[in-house]
Amino acid sequence: MDLKSLIREIQDFPKEGISFKDITTVLNNKDAFKYVIDQLSEQLKDLNVDVIVGPEARGFLMGAPVAYKLNKAFVPVRKPGKLPAETARYEYKLEYGTDALEIHKDAIKPGDRVAILDDLLATGGTVLAAAKLIEELGGQVISLNFLIELSFLKGRETLKDYHVETLVQYDEE
Ligand SMILES: O=P(O)(O)OC[C@H]1O[C@H](OP(=O)(O)OP(=O)(O)O)[C@H](O)[C@@H]1O
Ligand SMILES: Nc1ncnc2[nH]cnc12
């Protein structure tokens, strides 16, 4: 399946100079959405993970369906102030800005084998933050899986200590 042809590119969104990769056009195509979830699930099926983590918001769109398909638990990592119980927090940098992420402290048990799923790898800051939160709670980060990789931003260098898999790569903006 030619996923790249289904990913819509919007120039100068949300800021000048950013070429935004819009996955809503993939989600809106039932065959493409199914293909993406099936492919991400296939990458994980033999890794014996216990938990799938997805960072808000687009990580939910990849992580929750894969967790359902593989019959695993799903744990959301959210932007500050959204999770109601006791949280751990980590601050990180984005391609456009700075943010922080939180996870419920009781969501990951020591020794849990965890995969983190997100729609897109840019600088790697978001998923590194999620990985640090999981490790702080005693989890083991087994795999990081993405639909899209912006290779020119070198997120793999930020994530060099982890196993990274992506379905579609962009070598230049
Ligand atoms: O590799 P990075 O440089 O961290 O960038 C990638 C992250 O940026 C986007 O999320 P965003 O923070 O825009 O939030 P959203 O999912 O709520 O739209 C994307 O969904 C990834 O989570
Ligand atoms: N260029 C981009 N397109 C879509 N989501 C992003 N998140 C970070 N950079 C992005």
Other CB atoms within a 10 A radius of the CB of residue 73 amount to: 14
Domain 48-170 top-level CATH class: alpha beta
Percent of the chain with pLDDT over 70: 97
pLDDT of 173: 80
The residues spanned by each domain of the chain are: 48-170
Ligand 1 touching residue 22 (CB < 6 A): no
> What atom of ligand 2 comes closest to residue 22's alpha carbon?
4
Where b means 16+ CB within 10 Å and e means fewer, 100-120 reads ebbbbeebbeeebebbbbbbb
Quick: pLDDT tens for 109-139: 999 999 999 999 999 999 999 999 999 999 9
Residue type (1 letter), 162: Y
Identify the active-site residue in 56, 95, 136, 165.
Answer: 95
Asked about 165 being catalytic, the answer comes back as no
At residue 98 the predicted structure's pLDDT band, cuts being 50, 70 and 90, is low
Instruction: State how far the Cα of 142 lies from the Cα of 38, in Å rounded to an integer.
Output: 19
Asked about 58 being catalytic, the answer comes back as yes
> What atom of ligand 2 comes closest to residue 153's alpha carbon?
9
DSSP at 78: B
Ligand closest to CA 11: 2
Quick: pLDDT tens for 85-94: 999 999 876 6
